[in-house]
Chains A and B, each alone.
Chain A
Amino acid sequence: MEAPPVTMMPVTGGTVNMMEYLLQGSVLDHSLESLIHRLRGLCDNMEPETFLDHEMVFLLKGQQASPFVLRARRSMDRAGAPWHLRYLGQPEMGDKNRHALVRNCVDIATSENLTDFLMEMGFRMDHEFVAKGHLFRKGIMKIMVYKIFRILVPGNTDSTEALSLSYLVELSVVAPGGQDMVSDDMRNFAEQLKPLVHLEKIDPKRLM
Chain B
Amino acid sequence: MQREEKQLEASLDALLNQVADLKNSLGSFIYKLENEYDRLTWPSVLDSFALLSGQLNTLNKVLKHEKTPLFRNQVIIPLVLSPDRDEDLMRQTEGRVPVFSHEVVPDHLRTKPDPEVEEQEKQLTTDAARIGADVAQKQIQSLNKMCSNLLEKISKEERESESGGLRPNKQTFNPADTNALVAAVAFGKGLSNWRPSGSSGPGQPGQPGTGTILAGASGLQQVQMAGAPSQQQPMLSGVQMAQASQPGKMPSGIKTNIKSASMHPYQR
Contacts and interface: CB of A to CB of B under 8 A. Distances in A.
Contacts of B111: none
B202 interface: no
Contacts of B174: 26, 28, 165-166
A148 interface: yes
A80 to B, nearest CB: 26
The bracket for how many chain A residues form the interface is 35 or more
B176 to A, nearest CB: 9
Interface string B168-195: 0011111101111111111111111011
A204 B173 contact: no
A1 interface: no
B182 A202 contact: yes
A26 B170 contact: no
B258 interface: yes
B52 interface: no
A198 B173 contact: yes
Contact of B172 (A59, A195, A204): A195
A140 interface: no
B178 A26 contact: yes
Contact of B192 (A61, A127, A168, A197): A127
A27 interface: yes
Interface in B219-235: 234-235
B191 A27 contact: no
A150 B190 contact: yes
A207 to B, nearest CB: 4
B181 A168 contact: yes
Contact of A59 (B186, B251, B258): B258
Contacts of B181: 24, 26, 148, 163-164, 166, 168
A196 interface: yes
Contact of A24 (B178, B250, B251): B178
A161 B180 CA distance: 15
A202 B195 contact: no
A25 to B, nearest CB: 6
Nearest to B250: A208
Given A28-B173, A122-B264, A168-B185, A163 B235 contact: yes
Nearest to A167: B181
B254 interface: yes
Interface in B246-268: 247-248, 250-251, 254, 257-258, 261-262, 264, 266-267
A57 interface: yes
Given A67-B258, A126-B188, A197-B173, A24 B182 contact: yes
A62 B173 CA distance: 39
Given A61-B262, A124-B261, A208 B251 contact: yes
B11 to A, nearest CB: 28
Nearest to B170: A195
A166 B182 CA distance: 11
A59 B255 CA distance: 11
B238 A163 contact: yes
Interface in A79-129: 121-122, 124, 126-129
Given A148-B185, A202-B182, A28 B191 contact: no
B178 A163 contact: no
Contacts of B248: 208
Nearest to A124: B261
A128 B191 CA distance: 7
Contacts of A122: 264, 266-267
A204 B191 contact: no
A195 B162 CA distance: 15
Interface in B133-173: 170-173
A152 B250 CA distance: 18
A34 interface: yes
Contacts of A162: 235
B8 interface: no
Contacts of A67: 258
